[in-house]
Structure 1
Amino acid sequence: MDANRPGFARGPWFTMNAVLELDGALDHSALAAAFHELQRRHDVLRTEIVDQSQLIHLAPTAELELVDAVETHAEVPLAAPVRLRLAGNRLALHLHHMIADPVTLWTTLDELAMLYSNPDAPPPAAQYSDYTLNEAALVERQRGPASDWWQARLTDAKPCPQPPPQPANPFAYREQLLTPHELAAVDQRTRQQRSTPLVTLLAALAAGMTPYVGAGDTLVFATLFSKRDRPQWQRVLGPCIVPSALAIPRDADIPAVREAVVGCSRYARFPILEADVPTRAPFFEYVPQNWPSGYHFGPVHATVAAVAGPKDTGLADILGIRLRPTTDNALTGHFSGDGTDWTEHLVSQLCSGTRTHLLSQSEKR
């Protein structure tokens, strides 16, 4: 990632961030002790990435920071990949994305609150190293079937070329795709089809893209799959996500898209570089709204006030589409690109076509 976008993946803004609102005052010493114990219990929070090496420090590398104000984003150096900042009734946690995924963000806060309330809480059931060793074994066991599946879905298929290159400017912007009322209708249609929001949105996105891509039978996206599919991995801290591809039949109906998504997820662990993925495949991600209801630091209740992923540093790459429902149940998208093939004007047309498809399908219920 950093080779394609120098300074992005290794930079201090490639972070996972959450800000909590507190309904009371926290004991600074107890919070600092809980934060120290949290790092001691998890190797991944004491990890430094240097070139191709992973260094695990013996002692915690970060201290609680008492500040005047906290922001949603904060710089996090790879030498100390976790920061905890307290300003009055606001507590902010920042994790470098190299060592964290969204589940890690929430689980870290949950365990921090638990250690604040009970310093003698039981130790974690597993370390991230246990997860990675298990993943390596799964990759080897699945290599044959996965290779055959990706061969049929990608190598033997005819991926649709992206729009012809044309001079344009990089772009990055947010836009609401559906109002809360419209999203509720789409969700109802999704349930009637016994499908998922991811599948529904992909089918609509494929319909919106079809007029602008070249001849072929398959639309290919780059994406990420969460792989916490065993009970012991549910509370492991670390990036339990796999970069993979989504190979969606062009002009496919919901059952065909669902079948494609299931297969892509099943074989996502197969190293993506061994599959014949088009180099300009757009990135697509659907992020469900899954903020926790809150945390208890002893008698103090904390609610989630803000969440953010990596900060937009202006390092535009291939077309990126990230869709998520908001707290008021509207559907928004973050769209970015270098303008090489998918220009901002073309993406605007794509959004219009995707929205039209979603609304027309929901009206059929």
Structure 2
Amino acid sequence: MIAPTSLWQTFALDLDKARPGFAKGPWFTMNAAVELDGPIDVAVLARAFDDLQRRHDVLRTTVVDGDDPAQVVGDEPASALEVLDSEPALHAPVSLDAPVRLRLGGGRLALHLHHLNSDPVTLWTTLAELAAGYTARLAGTELPPVAAQYSEYTMDEAEQVRRNRDEAERWWREVVGQTKLALPPSGPAGEAFAFRDEVLTAGELARVEELAKAKRSTMLVSLLAALAEGMSPYTGPGDTLVFSTLFGKRDRPAWQTVLGPCIVPSYLAVPTSGAELAAVREAVVGCARFARFPNREIVELNDLGSRTPFFEYVPQQWPGGYRFGPVQARVAGAAGPKDTGRAGALGVRVRKTTEGALTAHLSADGTDWTRPLIGQALRRFRQVVLAQ
């Protein structure tokens, strides 16, 4: 079977053209590892993994690039359970033609999915269904049919894009296109960097979360407003700072548990300095509402270029655990794509840790945002967010 690529998949393929090997490479993955509190039946787990791939087309799908990119669904599972002599590492390479790997060893089970075929919800839902399938195998029962396949999501997404095209194009052209964009810094280039830093302690983050609720805002809006304020002294003149981002679009019951990347690449266009949270919230709501629009066309309509910084806020989403029959599995770790040294424009990924602190992973090639400069912006960001 052949299905159209989603907005996310098309965007990722375009990204790979600009940075060869980044999105189509084997380290563009979603990963999770669980600790098992007892022995697991390897033969049953292997059959449950095979069942899982047969139930979900996206786990047998190869994303094919070219003039007309497509998802090609294979007839048979391309992966088998791998049994190791020691604990599997959190990261592992995954090929496009076998987009899922499952490795067992040393009392730990690790799942790896190619990011062209998955998002964070897919990662956890896949583990949950694997556990349910293993348990069903032990009991001699069967799981209910799946609610939807990812190809159904992509076809529905394409229909929504077609149906809402005129309104979305008008919004991106008039609301965003008429603003004066703040350009990236233009000083001397520095070295490429990728590092992680704690930007708010657990106590500080808890206080910011309470303030966000009191102001009827969200953490995304609070953090985004503070980041734009923190970065504004170092950008060129302009009234709007634009970030590329990802919006989750599991906005229909059928998409809540479907396996596959139900995410849309789009943009956040926010005031650069001194903006009230209400103005930032209004901007975020508008960007989210009209996010289902081809990324290439948003770039062309607004002359965004290729140096738009990326921003993503991800709350802590680790599940409490899973049961593989009598065996309890506790989440031991999770990670997105491995840093392969192919950083481009500035990327800011802000996450809440299991301990409740807020950390930021920052990467860039040093062309505009250098490490010293982003360090200054982060210090200003911290001051602004704590003063809200």
Q: Deviations over 1:41-100 (max 9, x none)?
A: 111100123333432111111000000220010011111010000013100000000100
Q: CA deviation at 1:165?
A: 4.3
Match of 1:301 in 2: 328
- AA partner of residue 32 (structure 2): A
5 Å-filtered alignment, 1:204-215, equals 204-215=226-237
- Equivalent residues, number: 361
| Helix, strand or coil at the partner of 1:84 | strand
| Helix, strand or coil at the partner of 1:284 | strand
Q: Structure 1 CA distance, aligned partners of 2:357 and 2:75?
A: 45
| Helix, strand or coil at the partner of 2:32 | strand
Aligned residue among 198, 205, 225 for 1:203: 225
5 Å-filtered alignment, 1:1-365, equals 1-51=15-65, 52-68=69-85, 69-119=87-137, 120-251=142-273, 252-275=275-298, 276-279=302-305, 280-361=307-388
Q: CA deviation at 1:277?
A: 5.0
- AA partner of residue 31 (structure 1): L
Q: Structure 2 CA distance, aligned partners of 1:5 and 1:39?
A: 30
* 5+ long unaligned stretches in structure 2: 1-14
Q: Structure 2 CA distance, aligned partners of 1:71 and 1:273?
A: 36
Of 164-173 and 337-346, more deviation after overlay is shown by: 164-173
Detail structure 1 runs of 4+ shifted over 2 Å in the superposition: 49-55
Alignment root-mean-square deviation, CA: 1.0
Q: Structure 1 CA distance, aligned partners of 2:215 and 2:64?
A: 48
Q: CA deviation at 1:274?
A: 1.1
Distance 1:112 1:277, change over 3 A: farther
- AA partner of residue 161 (structure 1): L
Q: Structure 2 CA distance, aligned partners of 1:167 and 1:176?
A: 25
Q: Structure 2 CA distance, aligned partners of 1:340 and 1:200?
A: 28
Contact kept, 8 Å, 1:220 with 1:277, in 2: the verdict is no
Q: Structure 1 CA distance, aligned partners of 2:205 and 2:279?
A: 22
- AA partner of residue 114 (structure 1): A
Match of 2:9 in 1: none
Give the TM-score normalised by structure 1.
0.97
Q: Structure 2 CA distance, aligned partners of 1:92 and 1:78?
A: 18
- AA partner of residue 41 (structure 1): R
* 5+ long unaligned stretches in structure 1: none
Q: Structure 2 CA distance, aligned partners of 1:277 and 1:307?
A: 36
Give the TM-score normalised by structure 2.
0.91
Q: Structure 1 CA distance, aligned partners of 2:296 and 2:239?
A: 22
Contact kept, 8 Å, 1:146 with 1:270, in 2: the verdict is yes
Contact kept, 8 Å, 1:154 with 1:277, in 2: the verdict is no
